[in-house]
Amino acid sequence: MDQLNLSKHISSSFNEEIDIVRNHVMAMGGLIEQQLNNALMAIATADTELAQKVIDTDLKVNDWELQIDKECTSIIVKRQPAASDLRLIMAIMKTIADLERIGDETRRIARVALESFNSEQQDLLVNLDNLGRHVGQMLHDVLDAFARMDVETALLVHKEDKKVDREYEAITRQLMTYMIEDPRSIPKIMNVIWSARSLERIGDRCKNLAEYIIFFVKGKVVRHSSAEQLEHEARS
Amino acid sequence: MDQLNLSKHISSSFNEEIDIVRNHVMAMGGLIEQQLNNALMAIATADTELAQKVIDTDLKVNDWELQIDKECTSIIVKRQPAASDLRLIMAIMKTIADLERIGDETRRIARVALESFNSEQQDLLVNLDNLGRHVGQMLHDVLDAFARMDVETALLVHKEDKKVDREYEAITRQLMTYMIEDPRSIPKIMNVIWSARSLERIGDRCKNLAEYIIFFVKGKVVRHSSAEQLEHEARS
């Protein structure tokens, strides 16, 4: 009887600890969502102060990664989790690594807002804003899927990445055409291209996050799988 | 007495298993080194066949990542390692994630070799080759540091990344100047710029690998530390 109570106690402590970690991941995710929104807003409104704020706040993102990583390691040592408990911790550790890299890309995007653009160039930034909103929605949805460990939403996010890739390619082509027409604008437009690239990479990382959710819920590694394989594995 | 033998047996099995995993990491690292060399060779000699081989071989890199990840998880479950043993496994799991991403960048670089360049453009590729050799040396050195868990070499690699960044910036500036002078070349030169960016990113990832070595040996997380902090932590 004592034995049973003890094991129940240990197990409930594990759940409590993992709940704290999951809440921290959500807080980190929320901060990064805000960072992305602020970076896009800074570009759209040419707000250099907001851009600088995004760049400075990236340090907080890094701190979150280090803290959550530590918490996960400590749970492994103390609780020696197996099977799905360990899988959850692994999924969380991979998730925060990707979230931190999304933070890096967001900082890179914010740097573009420190540049000044003429009105014609400003028009080009509208496309960046559209791509940004699209990627922002992916990030929002995948964090939502993480909170509820919802495979169906994760699958939708995973599929969305193809659309983001196509949108990114269209923008790059348009920006290259603009550079050909006005070669003096090249250095400035290159910065816009880097931002588009950063947004595309954030999309890739949201796809990774979706894969970790499927890995946790289904116990199957779906990295490097084709879209069809993935859907099959996630639904089986 | 029996107890002691048993614990010795368990511990020596852990060592054996971890040795196998470490050898696998070295094999994966060796494959990626070869991939990078082949990608650079393919660009320098305009060898589309070799470029295609690099692209195809990336699947093997992905397989390595999945296999080693599985091996690490299985060791955690079976051996419930603590302290430095767990730290080693964590360092390995982070290492293979970065190695896989280096593989992705290598595949992107190889794609450039599928393009054809005129002789003037071919001259620009020489700079890419120099940057490539520099980054290739970093990769070689950090894998060497991993094999011997050598903090001093890891520190050297970490420092080297700043030089790679400067080299990359110089190349990008040169390529932009070329695009301004000959706007029709823009789409082609953009591909060279993407490759330079990929090489710069490989440098970043080698820096990450160096940090994991320091993390394992010193038991200190040195990610997001300044160069001075890092050196202090690694040598203390």
Chain B touched by A83 (CB under 8 Å):
yes
pLDDT for the residue B227: 77
Other CB atoms within a 10 A radius of the CB of residue B94 amount to 21
Burial of A107 (C-beta count, 10 Å sphere; 0-12/13-18/19+): buried
Nearest residue of chain A to residue B174 (CA atoms): A187
The distance of B79 to chain A (nearest Cα, Å) reads 9
Which residues in chain A are closer than 8 Å to B80, comparing Cβ atoms?
80
Chain A touched by B219 (CB under 8 Å):
no
The secondary structure of residue A46, as a DSSP letter, is T
- Please check whether residue B59 is in contact with residue B107, taking contact to mean a CB–CB distance below 8 angstroms: no
Length of chain B counted residue by residue: 236
CA distance B43 to B116: 10
Mean local confidence (pLDDT), A87-109: 95
CA distance A47 to A108: 15
Chain A touched by B179 (CB under 8 Å):
yes
pLDDT for the residue B11: 63
Burial of A97 (C-beta count, 10 Å sphere; 0-12/13-18/19+): buried
A20-34, A50-64, A70-84: least confidently modelled range: A70-84
pLDDT for the residue B1: 41
Nearest to A114 by CA among A27, A23, A52: A52
Nearest to A104 by CA among A26, A198, A28, A25: A198
CA distance A168 to A175: 11
CA distance A179 to A189: 7
pLDDT for the residue A96: 97
Which residues in chain B are closer than 8 Å to A186, comparing Cβ atoms?
176, 179-180, 186
Backbone angles phi, psi at A12, to 5 degrees: -70, -30
pLDDT for the residue B27: 98
Burial of A183 (C-beta count, 10 Å sphere; 0-12/13-18/19+): middle
CA distance B110 to A181: 29
Q: How confident is the model at residue A1 (pLDDT cuts 50, 70, 90)?
A: very low
Q: Tokens in use for A12?
A: 């409930």
Tens of pLDDT, residues A131-182? 999 999 999 999 999 999 999 999 999 999 999 999 999 999 999 999 999 9
- Please check whether residue A36 is in contact with residue A139, taking contact to mean a CB–CB distance below 8 angstroms: yes
Q: How confident is the model at residue A30 (pLDDT cuts 50, 70, 90)?
A: very high
Nearest to B207 by CA among B154, B150, B146, B158: B158
Q: Tokens in use for B80?
A: 């419930």
Q: Nearest Cβ partner of B186 from A66, A87, A176? A: A176
Contact criterion met (CB < 8 Å) for A66 and B90: no
pLDDT for the residue B30: 98
- Please check whether residue A229 is in contact with residue A167, taking contact to mean a CB–CB distance below 8 angstroms: no
- Site of tokens 């071919």: B122
Q: Nearest Cβ partner of B66 from A180, A183, A221? A: A221
Mean local confidence (pLDDT), A200-208: 97
Could you write out the DSSP letters of every residue in A3-71? HHHHHHHHHHHHHHHHHHHHHHHHHHHHHHHHHHHHHHHHHHTT-HHHHHHHHHHHHHHHHHHHHHHHH
pLDDT for the residue B22: 96
Domain segments of chain A as ranges: 2-235
> pLDDT tens digits, chain B, 236 residues: what are they?
444 455 555 566 888 999 999 999 999 999 999 999 999 999 989 899 999 999 999 999 999 999 999 999 999 988 888 878 999 999 999 999 999 999 999 999 999 888 877 887 788 888 899 999 999 999 999 999 999 999 999 999 999 999 999 999 999 999 999 999 999 999 889 999 999 999 999 999 999 999 999 999 988 777 777 778 888 888 87
pLDDT for the residue A9: 53
Burial of A44 (C-beta count, 10 Å sphere; 0-12/13-18/19+): middle
Name the 3-class secondary structure at B236: coil
Mean local confidence (pLDDT), A180-193: 91
Helix (H) or strand (E) holding B141: helix B119-148
pLDDT for the residue B153: 97
Nearest residue of chain A to residue B60 (CA atoms): A224
B183-191 CB contacts, 8 Å cutoff, 24+ apart: B183/A179, B183/A180, B183/A181, B183/A183, B184/A180, B185/B121, B186/A176, B186/A179, B186/A180, B186/A186, B187/A176, B188/B115, B188/B117, B188/B121, B189/B121, B189/B124, B190/A172, B190/A176, B190/A193, B191/B111, B191/B112, B191/B115
Nearest to B37 by CA among B115, A75, B45, B116: B45
Amino acid at A157: V
In CATH terms, the fold of domain B2-235 is: Methane Monooxygenase Hydroxylase; Chain G, domain 1 (1.20.58)
CA distance A34 to B45: 47
